[in-house]
Chain A
Amino acid sequence: MATDGFLIFENVTKRFGAHAAVDGVSVGVQKGEVFSLLGPSGCGKTTLLRIAAGLETPDEGRVWLDGEDITDLPPERRRVNTVFQNYALFPHLTVAENIAFGPRAAGWPRARIREEVDRMLALVQLTDQAGKKPRMLSGGQKQRVAIARALINQPRVLLLDEPLAALDLKLRQRMLVELDLIHDEVGITFVYVTHDQGEAMGLSDRIAVMNRGRIEQIGRPAEIYEAPRTGFVAAFIGDTNFLEGRVEEHLGDNYCRLGVEGFPDIECFNDTGRPPGEPVCLSVRPEKIRISRERPEPAPHVNVVPARVADAIYLGTHTRFWVRVGRHRVAVWQPHARFLLDERPIRWGDEVWISWHGDDGFMLERFSGADAALVATPPERIGAANGGVAP
């Protein structure tokens, strides 16, 4: 085992016809953590989850659970349980009977089943719904039955396949908190599949961002957001500006000078040792960029660029600006930490200065056009790197 962890995927590949849904994935999930598989639809995250559940057999690679090779075990003999995307509750059974399904299959004594079902009903706050059939429940209640039905078997790992996707926004936010509480209470390992970066960021200890059957990056939510390692991750998680350019020269102290058409020289952190002349894609998050009427005092490693405001959307907590620098459009989010009405707000057409620290820029490989379709906010909507010139 090259990777360590409680639930380990070792070089797992699954093909459907010629298409590799999961392509040589190796990842170790630690005991007790909430581990998210995050990616656009078709990235292979659900297939990977189904491989863990035993509902798909990998073409290559092994799956380990607590040191035991479970690759060839049928689903009923794995100590993992799944919360399915559409809950898959048994329509002919009541809530209590649904929850009791696993223990009955396992042949628990009746008294223990009754006791545990009651405990689970209390945990998910459905004691008064015990005798109802699933079709009489609301979406959120069904969801909680599905969780209780899985948890009662005391799985080593709980697999959740987009468990909130079928709920409306308000309910989704509430269930997210409840899921977090349930995890704190039962303390078992969660593997959580989602395409929603907000869910993943809010719930997870670690996130694996997947794209085209491969894992692009694994890390804590803040690591993934603050230090994306690929263009795909930068664009899929949150919003960002992409600026195409090339490395001009190294400045020492791990910094380098970038040339981007229409911009003055840009300083950027360069810990990956990209050589001068290499084409790069600079990613800067809109909330890392400051905007002001007056030119900021020069400071080491801070980039200061003159711009003109092309658009401004006031959102209460912050204002979203789109400013033009040469032929580029750059998104800038200005938070409003103080009473705004005393100030003179920046408006459309104003000449402004934008600035960001060299540490807040990331040099990534060029973002491929095919991936652009997969991410929530394609880069051409934000930056100008792919030709998003303001009219």
Chain B
Amino acid sequence: MTADHLRREEWAVTLPSLGWLLALFAAPTLLVFAVSFRPADPYGGIGAGWTLATLREMARTPLGPVIARTVRLSALTTAICLALAIPCGTCLARVAPRRQAVLLLLVVVPFWTSFLIRVFAWRMLLHPEGPLKRVLVTVGLADPHTQLLYSEPAVLLVMVYTFLPFAILPIYAAAEKFDLALLEAARDLGAGPWGAFVKVFLPGIGRGVLTATLMVLIPALGSYVIPDLVGGPGQDMLGNRIAQRAFSDRNLPQASALSAALTLAALAPMALAALVQRRPPALEAAARKEAA
């Protein structure tokens, strides 16, 4: 079997998913970009012709604080998720197969309940009269006037809760493939337990960590239900602004322009990840020089 033959077969296998991606992902995204340059129609539709009015309008709106909050909350969510997922995923990969199946099920089980219902459950838990508040007050960790719900920490908490499984699963997959003998080799060569973890284990599961980062960061950047339901009036994120433009203002070009901006912002970390994964030869040569 020749290489060309193999390639043609590969194409045949890849084509359906490629078509799916083009029709349902690339085309709509381009559509959103295009709509940003159309005028708004007073009835909530899209007018005829092309205009830069929407972009000018967007430039006039003070979006700075919203963008800062969106990036801050997403970055914090990603960091906390990773910090929790690395030990969790590693343990998952190490336990006996039978227990592993049960634990993996526990990670996935929340998906069986609607996302909205789970966020509403958090509203109940964090409610001023809710169980969590009562426990905290009884134990003496919070005073009765503390506001749990409608605060930025509440948004962060629910975001971490929501996205944690997306971080655990790729890290578990990477940790399961990791060869434990490498840790023994590191210890044998004089690295302490922490040194072996940082210098050998983390690079070993690097791809898993990268995937987990993308799986959490990108949806976190676009989240709007969580800040809407458990955040206060000052806690809206970019997603909320888009929803507002689309549903309340019924201004689709404005919503599209914001969405496009968010898409570009989300693509940036992915492009960076792609760059890191495919280290150019120059970087590798530099690493070699450093090693020698």
A130 and B288 within 8 A (CB): yes
Question: Which one of A86-94, A163-171, A194-202, A380-388 is at the interface?
Answer: A86-94
Q: Does A82 contact B (CB under 8 A)?
A: yes
Q: Is the CB of A97 within 8 A of B190?
A: no
Q: Does A22 interact with chain B (Cβ within 8 Å)?
A: no
B144 on interface, CB distance cutoff 8 Å: no
If A101-B189, A102-B189, A131-B285 touch, does A84 touch B184 (CB 8 Å cutoff)?
yes
List chain A residues, Cβ under 8 A from B190: 76, 102, 105-106, 153
Task: Indicate if the CB atoms of B292 and A118 lie closer than 8 Å.
Answer: yes
User: Nearest A residue to B204 by beta-carbon distance?
Assistant: A92
Judge if B153 is at the interface, Cβ distance under 8 Å.
Answer: no
Q: List 5 A-B contacts (CB under 8 A).
A: A76-B192, A81-B188, A102-B189, A117-B291, A131-B291
A304 at the interface (CB under 8 A from B): no
Which chain A residues (61-120) contact chain B, with CB distance < 8 Å?
74-76, 80-82, 84, 86, 88-94, 96-97, 100-102, 105-106, 114, 117-118
Beta-carbon contacts of B200-211 to A below 8 Å, as 1s and 0s?
A: 100110100000
A55-B184, A90-B182, A105-B191 provided; 11 other pairs, C-beta below 8 A?
A: A75-B188, A76-B188, A76-B192, A82-B184, A88-B181, A88-B182, A90-B185, A100-B291, A102-B190, A149-B189, A150-B189
Task: Tell me, rounded to whole Å, the shortest Cβ–Cβ distance linking B107 to chain A.
Answer: 27
Q: In the complex, which residue of chain A has the Cβ closest to the Cβ of B196?
A: A76
The answer to whether A96 and B179 have CB atoms under 8 Å apart is: no
Q: Are A105 and B195 in contact (CB under 8 A)?
A: yes
Q: Is the CB of A82 within 8 A of B195?
A: no
CB distance from A334 to the nearest CB of B (A): 47
| A76-B187 Cα distance, complex, nearest whole Å | 5
A53 to B187, alpha carbons, bound, how many Å? Answer: 10
Chain B proximity of A190: nearest CB distance (Å) = 15
B185 partner, pick from A82, A94, A117, beta carbons under 8 A = A82
Interface residue? B119 (CB, 8 A): no
Q: Are B182 and A94 in contact (CB under 8 A)?
A: no
Q: Are A86 and B181 in contact (CB under 8 A)?
A: yes
Measured CB to CB, the closest approach of chain B to A211, in angstroms, equals 26
Residues of B within 8 A of A93 (CB): 291
Are B291's CB and A55's CB within 8 A? no
- Chain A, residues 123-135, CB within 8 Å of chain B (1/0): the string is 0000000110000
Contacting pair B292 A117 (CB below 8 A) = yes
Choose among B185, B192, B203 the residue that contacts A84 (Cβ–Cβ < 8 A): B185
- Chain A, interface residues (CB within 8 Å), range: 20 to 34
Tell whether, in the assembled complex, residue A81 and residue B285 are in contact, meaning their CB atoms are under 8 Å apart.
Answer: no
User: In the complex the two chains form, what is the Cα distance from A92 to B202 in whole Å?
Assistant: 10
- Given A101-B189, A105-B195, A153-B189, A84 contacting B181 (CB threshold 8 A): yes
Given contacts A88-B179, A105-B191, A106-B190, is CB(A97)–CB(B185) below 8 Å? no
Distance between A75 CB and nearest chain B CB, rounded to angstroms: 4
Q: Which of B61-83 contact A (CB under 8 A)?
A: none
- Verify if B13 is at the interface (C-beta below 8 Å from A): no
Interface residues of chain A: helix, strand, loop or mixed (majority) = mixed
Residues in A whose Cβ lies below 8 Å from that of B200: 90
The interface residues of chain B lying within 8 Å CB-to-CB of A81 are 188-189
Task: Decide if A88 touches B185 in the complex (CB within 8 Å).
Answer: yes
Q: Is the interface of B mostly helix, strand, loop or mixed?
A: helix
Minimum CB–CB distance for B198 against chain A, Å: 11
Residues of A within 8 A of B284 (CB): 131
Q: Is the CB of A55 within 8 A of B285?
A: no
Contacts of A90 in B (CB 8 A): 182, 185-186, 200, 203
Chain B nearest CB from A309 CB (Å) reads 51
Residues of A with C-beta under 8 A to B186: 90, 101, 105
User: In the complex, which of the residues B179, B185, B195, B287 has the most CB atoms of chain A within 10 Å of its own CB atom?
Assistant: B185
- A94 and B291 in contact (CB under 8 A), knowing A86-B181, A88-B179, A88-B182? yes
Closest to A118 in B: B292
CA distance A303 to B7 in the complex (A): 73
Residue of A nearest to B203 (CB): A92
Are A75 and B291 in contact, CB atoms less than 8 angstroms apart? no
Given contacts A90-B182, A100-B291, contact A105 B189 (CB under 8 A): yes
Evaluate contact between A92 and B206: CB separation under 8 angstroms: yes
Whether the Cβ atoms of A76 and B182 lie closer than 8 Å is no
Contacting residues, chain B, for A100 (C-beta < 8 A): 291
CB-nearest residue of chain A to B189: A102
A-facing residues in B237-292 (Cβ within 8 Å): 284-285, 287-288, 291-292
CB distance from A7 to the nearest CB of B (A): 15
**CA A97 – CA B185 in complex, angstroms?**
14
- Among candidates A74, A88, A94, A106, residue contacting B287 with C-beta atoms closer than 8 Å: A94
A-side contacts of B184, CB under 8 Å = 55, 75, 82, 84, 88
* Residues of chain A with a CB closer than 8 A to B187's CB: 54-55, 74-76
Residue of A whose beta carbon sits closest to that of B182 = A88
Most chain A C-beta atoms within 10 Å of own C-beta, residue among B189, B195, B199: B189
Q: How far is the CA of A100 from the CA of B190 in the complex (A)?
A: 11
Closest 8 CB pairs of A and B: A131-B288, A88-B185, A102-B189, A105-B190, A96-B291, A97-B291, A92-B203, A75-B187
In A322-349, which residues have CB < 8 Å from any B CB? none
Flag if B288 contacts A91 (CB, 8 Å): no
Residues of B within 8 A of A150 (CB): 188-189
Chain A contacts for B192, CB-based, 8 A: 74, 76
A149 to B188, CA, bound (A): 11
Q: How far is the CB of B87 from chain A (nearest CB, A)?
A: 21
Inside 8 A of A131's CB, which chain B residues have their CB? 284-285, 288, 291-292
